[in-house]
Amino acid sequence: MKLDNATVFITGANRGLGLAFAREALARGARKVYAAARDPATVTLAGVVPVKLDVTNAEEVAAAARAAGDVTVLINNAGIAATGGFLAENSIESAQRHLETNLYGPIRLTQAFAPILARNGGGAILNVLSIASWINGPLLGNYGMSKSAAWAMTNGTRIELRDQNTQVLALHVGFIDTDLTAGFDVPKQSPESVAKTALAALEDGASEVLADEITRQVHRGLSAEPAVYLKATGE
């Protein structure tokens, strides 16, 4: 799916990786970029169309789809990440919040925009996943769970949307240097480098992209003995 002359809709596009996606899409020749955020006033990048969108709000998702009927690329980027394992006192509530944003949000957007993509020739969907789709531990338990579920959803919708010629790309990546990871003292990739790698893979027609070396190492370790996911994240 080429970005030149494409119309791109990005969730969580006011900062971090979403903002980097918007900049890179424009740099690659996108005709229009819809930049969605809970507060559209926080979208300050020149050349984009701000859209009010909370991905957990079904009515706002439907309204966004009605307003953006020319979309050819959907980027499901919006997400949350809170620390804590499954035995924490608030684990159920945290799990529900993570699933609402990181899983049900992309499902809502996919359901709303799939018919639009079909009418516009098929297009593409890029889902921002994580190294935590494959490995987990007490640090980011519910976040990892939600990204594992989103990975399964991505693989399923790729098959469902095949007949309408919609490319579905899974982006797996480790820590990105954004507000979301500000409290983590770990190696991080710049959002700009991740956006460039992901959109290059999209234009190459890929179904999966591993955006940094640690993600590629973990991916190789899934079939190792013992498998990498038998250890906690960071061990």
Active site residues: 143, 147
Measured between its terminal Cα atoms, the distance across the chain in Å is: 38
**Cα separations in angstroms, 14 against 34, 98, 122, 137:** 11, 20, 26, 30
Label residue 5 exposed, middle or buried (CB < 10 Å: 0-12, 13-18, 19+).
exposed
Residues with Cβ within 8 Å of residue 145, at least 6 apart in sequence: 86, 95, 98, 99, 136
**What's the length of the chain?**
235
Which pair of tokens denotes residue 34? 């819809």
- Could you tell me which of 58, 146, 148 has the C-alpha nearest to residue 110? 58
Strands (E), the chain: 7-10, 32-37, 49-52, 73-76, 124-128, 167-172, 208-210
Containing 62, the helix (H) or strand (E) segment is helix 58-67
